[in-house]
Amino acid sequence: MSFKHVAVIMDGNGRWANQRFRPRIWGHVRGSEVVSEIVEEADNLGVKCLTLYAFSTENWSRPLEEVSSLFKLLKKFLIKERERILLNRIRFRVIGDLSKLPGDIVDLIQKLTVETRDNQGLNLTFAFNYGGRQEILKSVNDFILTNPGKLITEKDLSHSLYCPELGDVDLLIRTGGEHRVSNFLLWQIAYSELFFTPTKWPDFTPREFREILEATSMRERRFGGVKSQLNFSNSKMNAQKNCQTFIEGFQ
């Protein structure tokens, strides 16, 4: 089974740096380098959509210096990786509330988004200043404003999300050893497979990424159904067919 949409919570940068008696930002710098490696591996493996959790709405509570450094790393990534993204025909987008980001970074995001909107390769999405609950609330409120008095359906809500064309998440990976989804793509991960690895993001490798996809691809996804029900249905059909063949043999 191949995964169309893989999402990753890139966790453990700060703790990785602290274990090495370095400032937290040192871990973020190394983590930004890993991003490029995983994007390349996802593209090589044929993943259609890769969504990376880079900065949550709750991350504003971190020290100002760390937040500022995260903005600088995002800007550096947008500039440094632009040519590679264009060369590999990657479609780039950022989901979240961009109103609080510095204007020069928003300009770079919008420019790269426009430049890659017709690309047919990997759909690379960064979640920056993003929160799952906030996305759902925004989607519902937007629908109510444009459809007053109409009851919202699951299909309506799905179509009102930031990037509805990405669809549901097939596999959610979280690095760093924590076992939470931390307000990430709450609607989209309703039936996704979950994989939590103790590896901190700066130590996460393309090989481990590939091994996780291979391991989780062996899982049986029933989407609320029961395998025995499917087997019973098939057995019933086979029994009816055999019975009919048996009867016809006496005619």
The matching CATH number, chosen from 3.40.1180.10, 3.40.605.10, 3.40.190.10, 3.10.129.10, for 5-219 is 3.40.1180.10
pLDDT of 77 above 90: yes
pLDDT, the chain, mean: 89
Q: Work out the average pLDDT over 79-92.
A: 96
User: Cα(159)–Cα(110) distance, rounded to whole angstroms?
Assistant: 21
pLDDT of 7 above 80: yes
> Is residue 11 flagged as an active site residue?
yes
Torsion of CA 161, 32, 215, 192, to 10 degrees: -10
* pLDDT of 233: 47
* pLDDT of 153: 96
* pLDDT of 63: 87
Domain map (residue ranges) of the chain: 5-219, 226-251
* pLDDT of 237: 54
Catalytic residue among 43, 59, 119, 183: 59
List CB contacts of 155: < 8 A, sequence separation 6 or more.
none
pLDDT of 220 above 60: yes
DSSP string, 50-95: EEEEEEEGGGGGS-HHHHHHHHHHHHHHHHHSHHHHHHTT-EEEEE
* pLDDT of 3: 85
153-185 pLDDT, tens digit per residue, is: 999 999 999 999 999 999 999 999 999 999 999
Catalytic residue among 11, 13, 123, 170: 11
In this structure, how many other beta carbons lie within 10 angstroms of the beta carbon of residue 222? 11
Q: Work out the average pLDDT over 116-136.
A: 96
The pLDDT confidence band at residue 224, using thresholds 50, 70 and 90, is low
